[in-house]
Amino acid sequence: MSRRQTLALLAVVGVCIALYLTLYKIGVIGVLSCSIGSCETVNTSKWSMLLGIPIAAWGLGAYIALLVLAMVGSGEAHEASVPISRVIVALAGWSVLFSAWLTYQELFVIRAICIWCVSSAVLWLVIFILSVADLRAVSRAE
Protein backbone atom coordinates (compact mmCIF):
# COMPACT_ATOMS: atom_id res chain seq x y z
CA MET A 1 0.00 0.00 0.00
CA SER A 2 1.42 3.41 -1.01
CA ARG A 3 1.78 6.34 1.38
CA ARG A 4 -1.13 8.17 -0.25
CA GLN A 5 -3.33 5.10 0.07
CA THR A 6 -2.40 4.89 3.77
CA LEU A 7 -3.29 8.57 4.10
CA ALA A 8 -6.68 7.87 2.51
CA LEU A 9 -7.22 5.02 4.95
CA LEU A 10 -6.38 7.24 7.93
CA ALA A 11 -8.69 9.93 6.51
CA VAL A 12 -11.59 7.41 6.52
CA VAL A 13 -10.86 6.62 10.18
CA GLY A 14 -10.86 10.38 10.87
CA VAL A 15 -14.14 10.86 8.99
CA CYS A 16 -15.75 8.20 11.21
CA ILE A 17 -14.52 9.87 14.44
CA ALA A 18 -15.48 13.39 13.34
CA LEU A 19 -18.87 12.24 12.02
CA TYR A 20 -19.59 10.47 15.32
CA LEU A 21 -18.80 13.60 17.35
CA THR A 22 -20.71 15.86 14.94
CA LEU A 23 -23.82 13.67 15.13
CA TYR A 24 -23.58 13.79 18.93
CA LYS A 25 -23.22 17.55 18.88
CA ILE A 26 -26.29 18.08 16.67
CA GLY A 27 -28.32 15.66 18.78
CA VAL A 28 -28.61 12.62 16.48
CA ILE A 29 -26.58 10.47 18.90
CA GLY A 30 -27.77 10.60 22.50
CA VAL A 31 -24.81 9.34 24.53
CA LEU A 32 -21.12 9.27 23.65
CA SER A 33 -19.28 6.02 24.22
CA CYS A 34 -16.44 7.29 26.40
CA SER A 35 -14.57 4.74 28.49
CA ILE A 36 -11.74 7.17 29.35
CA GLY A 37 -12.15 10.84 30.24
CA SER A 38 -15.19 13.10 30.04
CA CYS A 39 -16.22 13.37 26.41
CA GLU A 40 -19.52 15.05 27.28
CA THR A 41 -17.88 17.76 29.37
CA VAL A 42 -15.63 18.62 26.45
CA ASN A 43 -18.29 18.34 23.76
CA THR A 44 -20.81 20.45 25.63
CA SER A 45 -18.29 23.15 26.56
CA LYS A 46 -18.13 26.47 24.76
CA TRP A 47 -14.91 25.38 23.05
CA SER A 48 -16.83 22.73 21.12
CA MET A 49 -18.12 25.39 18.71
CA LEU A 50 -16.24 27.66 16.31
CA LEU A 51 -18.02 30.42 14.38
CA GLY A 52 -21.34 28.79 15.19
CA ILE A 53 -20.28 25.42 13.75
CA PRO A 54 -19.31 22.40 15.88
CA ILE A 55 -15.53 21.86 16.02
CA ALA A 56 -16.19 18.24 15.05
CA ALA A 57 -17.86 19.42 11.83
CA TRP A 58 -14.74 21.45 10.95
CA GLY A 59 -12.71 18.29 11.55
CA LEU A 60 -15.10 16.33 9.36
CA GLY A 61 -14.53 18.83 6.53
CA ALA A 62 -10.75 18.58 6.92
CA TYR A 63 -10.79 14.77 6.88
CA ILE A 64 -13.04 14.71 3.79
CA ALA A 65 -10.67 17.15 2.04
CA LEU A 66 -7.74 14.90 2.95
CA LEU A 67 -9.60 11.82 1.70
CA VAL A 68 -10.31 13.46 -1.66
CA LEU A 69 -6.70 14.65 -2.04
CA ALA A 70 -5.24 11.28 -1.04
CA MET A 71 -7.60 9.36 -3.35
CA VAL A 72 -6.85 11.62 -6.31
CA GLY A 73 -3.14 11.49 -5.46
CA SER A 74 -3.25 7.67 -5.35
CA GLY A 75 -4.36 7.48 -8.98
CA GLU A 76 -1.78 6.71 -11.68
CA ALA A 77 -2.12 10.16 -13.26
CA HIS A 78 -1.22 12.05 -10.04
CA GLU A 79 0.85 9.62 -8.00
CA ALA A 80 4.01 11.74 -8.49
CA SER A 81 2.26 15.10 -8.08
CA VAL A 82 4.24 17.44 -5.81
CA PRO A 83 1.45 20.08 -5.51
CA ILE A 84 -0.93 17.44 -4.09
CA SER A 85 1.70 16.45 -1.52
CA ARG A 86 2.23 20.10 -0.58
CA VAL A 87 -1.48 20.72 -0.09
CA ILE A 88 -1.76 17.58 2.08
CA VAL A 89 1.23 18.69 4.20
CA ALA A 90 -0.31 22.18 4.61
CA LEU A 91 -3.72 20.71 5.59
CA ALA A 92 -2.18 18.21 8.01
CA GLY A 93 0.18 20.83 9.51
CA TRP A 94 -2.66 23.26 10.16
CA SER A 95 -4.78 20.44 11.64
CA VAL A 96 -1.95 19.35 13.96
CA LEU A 97 -1.61 22.92 15.29
CA PHE A 98 -5.37 23.31 15.72
CA SER A 99 -5.64 19.90 17.45
CA ALA A 100 -2.77 20.85 19.78
CA TRP A 101 -4.61 24.05 20.74
CA LEU A 102 -7.81 22.06 21.39
CA THR A 103 -5.93 19.52 23.52
CA TYR A 104 -4.44 22.40 25.51
CA GLN A 105 -7.96 23.76 26.12
CA GLU A 106 -9.07 20.31 27.29
CA LEU A 107 -6.18 19.85 29.69
CA PHE A 108 -5.80 23.31 31.17
CA VAL A 109 -9.08 25.20 30.65
CA ILE A 110 -11.94 22.70 30.57
CA ARG A 111 -9.91 20.28 32.74
CA ALA A 112 -11.52 17.28 31.10
CA ILE A 113 -10.26 15.02 28.39
CA CYS A 114 -12.21 13.57 25.47
CA ILE A 115 -10.68 10.34 24.22
CA TRP A 116 -12.20 10.77 20.73
CA CYS A 117 -10.74 14.28 20.42
CA VAL A 118 -7.32 13.08 21.58
CA SER A 119 -7.51 10.18 19.11
CA SER A 120 -8.20 12.66 16.33
CA ALA A 121 -5.25 14.81 17.44
CA VAL A 122 -2.92 11.78 17.39
CA LEU A 123 -4.35 10.77 14.00
CA TRP A 124 -3.50 14.21 12.55
CA LEU A 125 0.03 13.92 13.91
CA VAL A 126 0.51 10.54 12.20
CA ILE A 127 -1.03 11.95 9.00
CA PHE A 128 1.34 14.92 9.14
CA ILE A 129 4.44 12.73 9.57
CA LEU A 130 3.33 10.47 6.72
CA SER A 131 2.50 13.44 4.48
CA VAL A 132 5.97 14.96 5.04
CA ALA A 133 7.56 11.61 4.14
CA ASP A 134 5.37 11.51 1.03
CA LEU A 135 6.37 15.04 0.00
CA ARG A 136 10.08 14.24 0.43
CA ALA A 137 9.79 11.03 -1.62
CA VAL A 138 7.82 12.68 -4.41
CA SER A 139 10.16 15.72 -4.52
CA ARG A 140 13.23 13.44 -4.68
CA ALA A 141 11.74 11.44 -7.55
CA GLU A 142 10.92 14.58 -9.55
Partner 1 sequence: MADKGVDGGRGRRAGVVNKQRGNSSQRFYLVLALVAVVGALFIVRAARAPRAIANVTTAPITAAKAEGYLLGNPNAPVQIMEFADFECPACGNFAVITEPDVRNRIVNTGLASYRFFDFPLPMHKNTMAASNAAACAADQGKFWEMHDELFRNQPEWNGESDNKDNPKKVFLGYAKSLGLNTDAWEKCFDSQAHQSRILANQAEGVRRNVQSTPTFVIGTRQIPGALSYDAFKAYVDSAAKEAPPVATKTDSAAPKTAAKSTTKGATK
51-69 b/e (C-beta count within 10 Å ≥ 16 → b): eeebbbbbbbebbbebbeb
Tell me if 40 contacts partner 1 by CB under 8 A: yes
Instruction: Determine the interface stretch with partner 1 among 39-47, 50-58, 81-89, 91-99 (rule: CB under 8 A).
Output: 39-47
State the DSSP string of 97-132: HHHHHHHHIIIIII---BHHHHHHHHHHHHHHHHHH
Tell me if 9 contacts partner 1 by CB under 8 A: yes
Restricting to residues 112-141, name those near partner 1 by CB under 8 A. 112
Residues forming contacts to partner 1 in the complex (CB under 8 A) are 1-2, 5, 8-9, 12-13, 15-16, 19-20, 23, 28-33, 38, 40-41, 44-46, 74, 76, 109-112
